[in-house]
């Protein structure tokens, strides 16, 4: 395999890259490049279009690097290029982590107090090496809020309460449908309908041209508003 150093400005990101790179992944990729440098070659075709290593290319650019070690694949058909791109991502994803080995490595790094590993959360890794007493101390502070967090939560609660009150003030209260009236003899004036919650005469329902109406009724058992 002949590796060639190519300026990043000459490489072309592949518009048909089959891997989506999140902002978090690219940041961790950048951290890896910063810490270890380029550890694998970017694969491209004769036109310097990237076939494998689009994420690495983006990370190296973000790190301010100007050239990359590349392996140029020549003589490939368009279908083989597409299949290689698909295979590179799929074959990699078929592997699984050896948890026993990872646990041993974390223990070794814990003894060195060094969890600066791109792709991993250092605080989380540290908790995996806690002794029982350390874990108890850590969990004892779980869920505690500092003064700043509590103040922000109180401000948010007050704002939500004001918005709820404003919404309620502009809402329209409606009554549940009354049970069917018994048949009345001819010539008898219909009995007025009453609100089954309040017992007061029912008012004719008002309509509004606003398609979204704020309406509620009151639960006859608990008195809570039920928004419709």
Could you tell me the mean pLDDT of each successive run of 10 residues in the chain, 228 residues long?
Answer: 92 92 92 95 96 96 96 95 94 90 90 89 81 54 65 78 75 65 59 56 51 65 72
Interacting residues of 86 by C-beta distance below 8 A, sequence separation 6+: 18
Q: What is the pLDDT of residue 185?
A: 59
Question: Under a CB-based contact definition with an 8 Å cutoff, are residues 43 and 52 in contact?
Answer: yes
| Closest alpha carbon to 166 in 222, 96, 109, 214 | 214
Tokens of 166: 């404003």
What per-residue confidence (pLDDT) applies to 198?
54
| Inter-residue contact 68 to 44 (CB < 8 Å) | no
Q: How far is CA 171 from CA 16, 20, 57, 209, in A?
A: 52, 46, 56, 15
CA 22 to chain centre: 11
| Cα–Cα dist 228/176, whole Å | 11
Distance between CA atoms of 93 and 91, rounded to whole angstroms?
A: 5
The model's pTM: 0.55
pLDDT for residue 129: 76
DSSP 33-51: HHHH---SPEEE-TT-BEE
Distance (Å) of CA 150 to CA 104, 141, 158, 159: 40, 15, 12, 14
What digits encode the pLDDT tens for the residues 18-75?
888 899 999 999 999 999 999 999 999 999 999 999 999 999 999 999 999 999 999 9
């Amino acid at each position: 395999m002949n590796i060639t150093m190519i300026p990043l400005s000459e490489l072309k990101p592949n518009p048909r890259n089959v891997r989506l790179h999140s902002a978090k992944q690219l940041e961790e990729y950048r951290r890896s490049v910063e810490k270890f440098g380029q550890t694998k070659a970017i694969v491209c075709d004769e036109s310097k279009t990237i076939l494998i290593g689009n994420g690495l290319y983006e990370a190296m650019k973000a790190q301010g690097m100007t050239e990359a070690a590349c392996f140029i694949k020549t003589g490939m058909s368009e279908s083989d290029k597409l299949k290689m791109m698909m295979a590179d991502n799929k074959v990699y994803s078929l592997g699984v982590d050896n948890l026993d080995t990872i646990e041993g490595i974390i223990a070794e790094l814990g003894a060195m107090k060094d969890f600066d590993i791109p792709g991993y959360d250092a605080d989380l890794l540290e908790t995996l090496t806690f002794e029982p007493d350390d874990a108890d101390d850590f969990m004892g502070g779980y869920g505690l809020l500092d003064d700043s967090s509590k103040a922000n939560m109180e401000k948010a609660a007050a704002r939500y309460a004001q918005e709820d009150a404003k919404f309620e003030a502009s809402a329209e209260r409606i009554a549940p449908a009354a049970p069917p009236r018994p048949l009345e003899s001819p010539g008898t004036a219909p009995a007025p309908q009453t609100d089954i919650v309040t017992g007061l005469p029912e008012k004719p329902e008002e309509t509004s041209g606003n398609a979204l109406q704020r309406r509620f009724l009151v639960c006859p058992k608990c008195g809570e508003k039920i928004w419709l």
